[in-house]
Amino acid sequence: MLVRIVKMKFEPDAVKSFQDLFQKNRDKIRQFDGCQRLELYQDQKDKTLFFTYSYWESETHLNSYRHSALFAEVWKATKIGFSQKAEAWSLDKLVELN
Model confidence pLDDT, tens digit, residues 21-63 = 999 999 999 999 999 999 999 999 999 999 999 999 999 999 9
The amino acid at residue 17 is S
- Number of separate domains in the chain: 1
**Of the candidates 61, 85, 76, the residue with the CA atom closest to the CA atom of residue 4:** 61
Please state the pTM of the whole predicted model.
Answer: 0.94
Q: In angstroms, what CA-CA distances link 51 with 47, 81?
A: 11, 14
Domain that holds residue 14: 1-57
In the chain, the DSSP E strands lie at: 2-10, 35-42, 49-56, 82-92
Query: What is the structure's pLDDT at 49?
Result: 98
Q: Which of 50, 29, 54 is nearest to 39 (CA)?
A: 54
Residue 38: inside a domain: yes
The verdict on residue 83 lying in a domain is no
In a domain, 43, yes or no: yes
